[in-house]
Structure 1
Amino acid sequence: MKHLPRPARRALLVVHVAVSVAWLGLSVGLLALGLAAYTTQDLSLTHAAYRAMKVFADWLLAPVALVTLGSGLVLSLGTPWGLARHHWVWIKFWITVATATATIFALRPEISHAAAAGVPDSSLVAAPAVSTSAYLFMTAISVLKPWGLTARGRRLRKSASRPAPRGSGATVGASSGKPVDAPSGRRPA
């Protein structure tokens, strides 16, 4: 995929960060409601908490998860970071796929079932606790960018740093003349 122009990349980055933070906040909210529903002795409070969780699950969970996944995918493919060049991006992608799938196909139906039954359910404490941990982990690796290049990223960097054969008309970098993964002096947005 061709790299995104800077204004588009920055706008998409804002969208991605906003929906990612919304997903984390939503998960923390579901954890608080799940804990309240599970630990109270008042069945009316349990039922109310699960009904509130159902509102969040029905209206917000799937759209937020899918926009997070889609914006992250477009950002990774449209920037020098790439999807499979750096371990942290690759790991974030697969954790996002797993959590979005679990959110849509397991958590939402479980919340609907609990809202209808109105009885305490420990899985509605465990699932938001796991998802909150996953989102915090992804936040940390987004900031720290650990583990370096993948094997694919090392191959791409190595092939981009080789000089182009004479007469081929090929350039090393797309527009700058430097290797694709070479540091530019600026951090990618």
Structure 2
Amino acid sequence: MRARKFWLVLHILSAGAWIGIDVLVAVLVAIGMLGGNESRRGLAYQALGTFVWWPMLTSGLVCLVTGVVLGLGTKWRLFRYRWVVVKLVLNVGLCTLILVALRPSMPVVTAYGVAVAAGTPAVIGPTSLFMPPIVSLTALSLATVLSVYKPWGRMRRQSPG
């Protein structure tokens, strides 16, 4: 019982950190797009490009590991209930997006921030940056709702043969 509570607390804290980082990303994107002076906007983009993806990935991976441990060590199991499977898919999908879509674009975001702060007109700005926090916050909110309501019941067992 004590071990389960430890893993559950760690799972909840990592999910909360992940949500908090996504909110920070949304704030930095908003400041970068609407922040008024170039210095503030450039600093927001530089912070985004430099400091965001690795804490986000770390919290996502901690959330994934603790979720798997909880799934293996509790009555919910990993593949017994649909809501657990959906949460697992959401987590793996978001971590993959961080690695495949977000992380590779961060040097460009940082360089754009440097150009904006210096007053150098940049050719193309990172206009699609508002999508990651929307997608991630939506998926993490859905995962939270699934954790609380536990809908859909058990997975069907496949009959052998």
Note whether the superposition's TM-score is higher than 0.5. Answer: yes
Q: Does 1:106 align with 2:101?
A: yes
Rg (Cα) greater in structure: 1
Q: Match for residue 141 of structure 2?
A: 136
Q: CA–CA distance in 2 between the matches of 1:101 and 1:47? A: 27
- 3-state SS of paired residue (2:23): helix
* Cα drift, residue 122 of structure 1: 2.3
Distance in 1 between residues matched to 2:102 and 2:18, nearest whole Å: 14
TM-score, with length taken from structure 1: 0.73
**Please, which of 36, 45, 57 is the counterpart of residue 50 of structure 1?**
45
Distance 1:56 1:137 in 2: 26
Q: Which has the higher contact order (CA 8 A, sep 6+)?
A: 2
Whether 1:88 aligns to 2:83 is: yes
Q: CA deviation at 1:53?
A: 1.7
Residue identity in the other structure for 1:93? L
In the TM superposition, residue 54 of structure 1 has moved relative to its aligned partner by: 3.0
**Could you say which residue in structure 1 is the equivalent of 2:151?**
146
Structure 1 runs (4+) deviating above 6 angstroms are none
Give the TM-score, by structure 2 length: 0.84
- Tell me how far apart the structure 2 counterparts of residues 137 and 58 of structure 1 sit (CA, whole Å): 21
* Cross-structure match for 1:24: 19
Partner of 1:164: none
Aligned equivalents of 1:82, 1:101: Cα separation in 2: 23
1:174 aligned partner: none
1:122 has 2:127 as partner: yes
Q: CA 1:46 to 1:10, structure 2 compared with 1: closer, same or farther past 3 Å? A: same
Partner of 2:119: none
Q: Which amino acid aligns with 1:133?
A: T
Question: Alignment RMSD, CA only?
Answer: 1.8
Cα offsets for 1:97-128 (capped at 9, x unmatched): 00011112221222332111226422211111
Gaps of at least 5 residues in structure 1 are 1-5, 156-189
Identity percentage over the alignment?
36
Counterpart contact for 1:50–1:111, Cα < 8 Å? no
Give 1:31's aligned amino acid. A
Matched with 2:31 is: 36
Distance 1:111 1:50 in 2: 9
- Where does residue 12 of structure 1 map in the other structure? 7
